Chains A and B, each alone.
Chain A
Amino acid sequence: MDTMRDRLAPVVSRLLDEDPRVAVVLAEIGRDAFTEAWHRHPDRVVNVGIREQLLVGVAAGMALTGLRPVVHTFASFLVERPFEQVKLDLGHQDVGAVLVSAAASFDWPAGGYTHMAPGDVALLDTLDGWTVHVPGHPDEAETLLRHAVAAGDDKVYVRLSVQANRDALPVDGEHFRAVREGRSGVVVAVGPMLDAVLAAVEGLDVMVLYATTVRPFDAAALRRATATAGADVVLVEPYLAGTSTAAANDALAHVPHRVLGLGVGRRELRRYGRVEEHAAAHGLDARSLRERIGGFVAGAGGGGS
C-alpha cells in the first residue's frame, strides 16, 4: 500500500491546477514530489531551503495577500521548531494555512527522537481555532487534505503517518463515526489506531467510535455513545497519551464518567528499530491495548496504565 504522504503531492498538485489561491511552501523536505507542480506553477510552489521559521512566516505573508498556503515538512520542524511563528504569524495575524505534517510520532524510529514530535496535537491545543485531521488511511488522507484546503481561511493541521488501517472508511472532515456497537464502555480510536483497537476489543462489549477529525472534538458523538454504552471512555490516540482527555471530560461534564487516555508516552525511549516495536513499547499494539482497555472497562479502579 502507498502511504498517506505519497498522496500529498498528487492531491495538492491538482488543487494548484484548479484553484489559483492555492500555494505550497516547503523547506527542502518533500520537494522532489512537487517538481512537476513547481514547473507548472513556479510562483506558487516555493521551497525556502532549510529554514523553518521562514517556512511559516512566508506562508503567513502569502495568506495576508489572499493565498491559501499548504505548508509541509516533518512535524518536529513544522509545529515544534517554529511554534512561535505558528502562534503569531498565523494565529495573531489572524490568517489561515494548511499545515501538513509527516513522521510525527514514530514513523521513522531509526531516525531517533530528533525526528519525533508526539506532542504536536497537544501543542496546537494551546492555541485557538485549529482544526486537526488525523487520517487513518491514504484514501482518508486524500479526502481530508481536500477538506483542509477548501476550508476558507481556517487554520488546519493534517497529520499524515506511515501507520495506517487496512481499509479506508468514509470521512467527512467533522464527525466521529460509530464502527462497532457495545453496551459497556466507549473506545475512541483515532486515525491509524483503529485496526489495533478493533483487534483489541474482540469479544468485549464496548462501542468503538472512529475519529479522524479530532479538533474540534466531536463532543456530541461522544455524548450520544455514552448514552447507550455507559460513561467509561477510553481514548486511543496515535500521539501523546491524554491529549484529548480534557476534551472528553468537557464533553461529559454533565454526567459522572471515567476517562482513560492511551497514546504515546512522554518518556524518551532512546530506541531505534521498527514502527511495530515502538507501538508495542508505548502499549499501542493490540495485545497491550486489550489488557488496558479490558482492565479499565471491567470496573472502577481496575486496569489503567
Chain B
Amino acid sequence: MTITEERGRTYGYGDLSRLMGLMTGDEKHGPAATSTLDALWVLYDRVLRVAPERADDPGRDRFLLSKGHGPMAYYAVLAAKGFVPVDWLPGFGAYDSPLGHHPDRVLVPGAEIGSGSLGHGLPIAVGTALGLRAQGLDAPRVWVVVGDAELDEGSNHEAIAFAGPAGLDRLHTVVIDNASASHARPGGIAARFEAAGWSAVTVDGRDHEALYAAFTAPHPGRPHLVVARVEPKSA
C-alpha cells in the first residue's frame, strides 16, 4: 500500500491497536504500552491545533512527548493523523528506520522534541512557551506529556516551580499516572503542582470525555496540569 493511499484514509481510535501491532507484531497490548494512548488520542483528535502540513507554521500548537519510553502509542497516533507514513511502522527500531524506541525529532515528522532521557521535556516546554511569548505568538499553546515516575527527576521541579509564578498559562502538562514511581504519596503529584501555582485536574486517563473536559478547562493566568490516571504498571 502506498503512502498516498494511507494519507488519504481516515483512521479512528479503533485503528490504533492494529497500527501498534505493526510495530510490536501483536495486536494485544498490555496497559504499560498503552498508558499514554487515550490521552494522546484525545489531544491529537480534538485539542491540538497541529497538522502534517502545518509542521513549520509558527502558529501551531507545540506537543512535546517527554516520556519517550514505549513510544508505540505515540507513533500510532502520528500515523493515524498523517504525520508518519503507516508503512514506516513495521520497521520500528531497525537501523534504517526513523522510528526508534525513543523518538528523535530530527527523524520523526511531527515530533517537536527527541526524548528518552527523562526530565527534559518540561524544562524545554517552559522555554518554548517563553520563546513564543517573546515573539508575540499568542495563539499557540504548549503541551508536554510526562510519566508519574518521570517526576522523580529534579529537573521537572525546576520547571514546575518556575512556570507557576511566571504565569505561563499557555503551558499544559499531562502526567500519565500509572503509579510506577517507587516512592510516592497519594495525591502528591497534583499537590506539588498546585503548591507552585498551577491549576490542576485529576481524571480517569481512559475516559475520553473526562480527558477532553480536563484538557479544555479554563485556567486563566496559570499553567495547567492534568493527571491522567491509568491502570497501575505493577498490576
Interface residues, chain A, with chain B CB atoms under 8 Å away = 20, 23, 25, 43-44, 46, 48-49, 51, 53-54, 56-67, 69, 84-85, 88-89, 92-94
Contact = CB atoms under 8 A, between A and B. Distances in A.
Contacts of A67: 131, 134-135
A46 B162 CA distance: 11
Interface stretch (B73-81, B153-161, B211-219): B153-161
Contacts of B58: 65-66
A89 B134 contact: no
5 contacts: A51-B162, A58-B127, A63-B127, A85-B155, A88-B114
Contacts of A62: 127-128, 130-131, 134
Nearest to B137: A65
Given A64-B112, A65-B135, A54 B125 contact: no
Nearest to B129: A61
Contacts of A57: 120, 122-124, 126-127, 155, 159
Contacts of B47: none
Contacts of B129: 61
Nearest to A54: B158
A43 B135 CA distance: 8
Given A51-B158, A53-B154, A93-B105, A58 B120 contact: no
A48 B128 contact: no
Given A53-B154, A88-B117, A89-B120, A61 B134 contact: no
B135 A53 contact: no
Interface string B142-156: 000000000000110
A93 B112 CA distance: 9
A61 B105 contact: no
Contact of A64 (B106, B122, B127): B127
Contact of B131 (A48, A53, A61): A61
A66 B62 CA distance: 13
B132 interface: yes
B112 A54 contact: no
Interface SS of B by simple majority: helix
Interface in B8-58: 58
A44 B128 CA distance: 12
Contact of A93 (B113, B119, B159): B113
B191 to A, nearest CB: 20
B131 A64 contact: yes
Given A51-B158, A92-B114, A93-B114, A65 B132 contact: yes
B124 A64 contact: yes
B126 A58 contact: yes
A73 to B, nearest CB: 14
Given A61-B124, A65-B135, A93-B105, A54 B155 contact: yes
Contact of B127 (A49, A61, A84): A61
A66 to B, nearest CB: 7
Given A89-B120, A94-B105, A61 B155 contact: no
A43 B155 contact: no
Given A53-B155, A54-B159, A67-B131, A61 B125 contact: yes
A51 B119 CA distance: 14
Closest 10 CB pairs of A and B: A61-B127, A57-B123, A65-B131, A58-B127, A62-B131, A51-B158, A61-B128, A54-B158, A43-B134, A53-B155
A60 B127 contact: yes
A64 B123 contact: no
B192 interface: no
B233 interface: no
A145 B177 CA distance: 45
Contacts of B133: 43
A60 B190 CA distance: 26
Interface in B87-124: 104-106, 112-114, 117, 119-120, 122-124
Contact of A58 (B62, B106, B130): B130
B175 to A, nearest CB: 18
B162 A43 contact: no
B138 to A, nearest CB: 12
A84 B117 contact: yes
A67 B132 CA distance: 9
B213 to A, nearest CB: 28
A66 B131 contact: yes
Nearest to A59: B127
A228 to B, nearest CB: 44
A54 B162 CA distance: 9
Nearest to B155: A53
Contact of B162 (A20, A48, A65, A94): A48
Contact of A54 (B126, B131, B132): B126
B128 A85 contact: no
Contacts of A61: 123-131
